Structure formats: structure tokens, C-alpha cells
């Protein structure tokens, strides 16, 4: 991808908060129910907090009750999927395609009433919201 953002850990630490660095660069997770965007419902775009790449439209956000923002689909090409075998289980990790920042995990087949029965469980710290009124 031509919009790849590559920085050293020191460069990321200079522009991210310690919590953003822990989650985006070290694959951490914020505690459930603590993120600013879990129950957020304004119209707009959710971008990567690391590099600013647009990731999700508010029209794909839904209330899953899981304690993290949930989306049923990403902007095409914005989010990459990787197998994650940490913590003794196999999950699908999602990252920002442009900078590789950890967003969370994607789950399928949970029965949520959305067009593809998929849930992108995303850390609020990994996102920045921009409303449509710009």
C-alpha cells in the first residue's frame, strides 16, 4: 500500500500518549466499558489514532454490549486481519493497514443483526472521531 506509515518506537512514543502506545504499538487492550467511543453515536468517521487513516464509518457502528466500540465493516482496504494465537486461543486481530496499529479483534457468527454477522471489537484509544459537519 502506498500510504504506509513507518516509524520507530521512539517516534511513535513522541506522538502517542502512553496508553495509545501500549494499545496501538504493543497490542494492548483497554478495560471494557472505559472507552470514549463505546456508546458514542454521532455521524462521522472513525480514524486511526496513530496515523489518521479513516477506518470506519459511523453507519457501520452498532451497540454490541461488549464494552468496546463495535463495527460490522471497515472502510475497504483500511483494516488488515491477522491470526492471533495469544492467550491460548485463536482469534483474528485487526490492525490499521497503513501503520500496523493494533485496533482489536474481529468475531464472526455471533448472531448480531447486521448485514454480515461480524463484529469488529475496537479499542476506543485506537480511534479518533471526526464528525460529518467539517
Question: What amino acid positions are annotated as catalytic residues?
Answer: 121
Q: How far is the C-alpha of 103 from the C-alpha of 121, rounded, in Å?
A: 8
Q: How far is the C-alpha of 33 from the C-alpha of 120, rounded, in Å?
A: 16
User: CA geometry: angle at 11 spanning 9 and 13, to 5°?
Assistant: 65
Q: How far is the C-alpha of 11 from the C-alpha of 31, rounded, in Å?
A: 26
Question: Which residue is it, cell 471494557?
Answer: 32
Please state, as a whole number, how many other Cβ atoms lie within 10 Å of the Cβ of residue 95.
19
Q: How far is the C-alpha of 66 from the C-alpha of 51, rounded, in Å?
A: 26
Amino acid at each position: 500500500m502506498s500510504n504506509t506509515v513507518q516509524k520507530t518506537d521512539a517516534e511513535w512514543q513522541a506522538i502517542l500518549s502512553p496508553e495509545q502506545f501500549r494499545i496501538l504499538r504493543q497490542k494492548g487492550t483497554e478495560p471494557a466499558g472505559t472507552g470514549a467511543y463505546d456508546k458514542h453515536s454521532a455521524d462521522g468517521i472513525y480514524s486511526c489514532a496513530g496515523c489518521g487513516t479513516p477506518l470506519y464509518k459511523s453507519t457501520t457502528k452498532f451497540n454490541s454490549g461488549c464494552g468496546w466500540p463495535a463495527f460490522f465493516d471497515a472502510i475497504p482496504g483500511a483494516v488488515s486481519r491477522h491470526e492471533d494465537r495469544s492467550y491460548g486461543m485463536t482469534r483474528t486481530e485487526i490492525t490499521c493497514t497503513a501503520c500496523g496499529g493494533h485496533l482489536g479483534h474481529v468475531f464472526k457468527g455471533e448472531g448480531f443483526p447486521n448485514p454480515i454477522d461480524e463484529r469488529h471489537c475496537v479499542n476506543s484509544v485506537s480511534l479518533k472521531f471526526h464528525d460529518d459537519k467539517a
